Structure 1
Amino acid sequence: MALMRIGEFAKEIGVSVQRLRDLDKNGTLKPAVVSPKGTRYYSDEQLYQYTHQNQSHRKVIGYCRVSTNGQKNDLETQISNVKTYMIAKGYSFEVVSDVGSGIN
Structure 2
Amino acid sequence: MHRYVAIGEASEVLGVSITTLRRWEAEGRLIPERTAGGQRRYDLAKIKPELFHAAPQDRKTIAYARVSSHDQKDDLERQKQVLELYCAKQGWTFEVVADLGSGMNYNKKGLKRLLDEIIEGRVGRLVIAHC
Q: If the TM-score is normalised by the length of the shorter chain, which range does it land in?
A: 0.3 to 0.5
TM-score (norm 1): 0.45
